[in-house]
Amino acid sequence: MSRTVRALAFLCGALWFFPVSCTTGLVATVPLLSKFHERHMEKGDAPHSTFFYVVWQPGEAGKPFGYSKLAALAPDKTPPARSFIMEPPSGRIEEGKFTIVTYKVLSSGVSEQLIEVAWADDDYGSVSRYRATRSSVTPVFSRIMGPEFMFMAFPIALGFAAAIYAVGRWLRRRVARAQAD
């Protein structure tokens, strides 16, 4: 048997490697689960209403821009001076200790922009993409990341680690048999 196969058998079949492979599976699975929970409005999905954020200008209290949840915007309460068209192509606000809001204008037309807003705090994160005009917003895409994805990923990560361990044990037996012959 080659040195590589023996090293792989030793590594994957070692009990101490189980937490390493479980953690690796967890780190890889959480973003995949978030990807499966994306919502695309052109396919008829509804946006994640509790985490769909939009930005506007001018900002309040000296901030470069304002932001809020889409669900919190009432058409009759939108001040006429507020515009959803963003002049700078990107911006960032840090609110409090953990909340960060960034936006990026992905494309810009004569009277419409495609804007992506990333919002994150110490527990959750979201990405919202929408078409903006001066007075309205049309959702296009949303994705969230939260602690619940880690709980959903844990059984998958355990299965991944168990499979790697089983392959490692099988390789160890093969290496032992090959060395005995």
Give pTM, 2 decimals: 0.75
d(CA 40, CA 130): 11
Would you state the pLDDT for residue 75?
62
The residues spanned by each domain of the chain are 3-30+149-180, 38-144
Would you state the pLDDT for residue 32?
85
pLDDT classification of 10: cutoffs 50, 70, 90? confident
CA-atom Rg of the chain in angstroms: 24
Of residues 163 and 81, more confidently modeled: 163
Report the pLDDT averaged over residues 22-41: 85
How open is the CA angle 146-45-33, to the nearest 5 degrees?
30
Report the pLDDT averaged over residues 78-107: 87
How open is the CA angle 9-156-8, to the nearest 5 degrees?
10
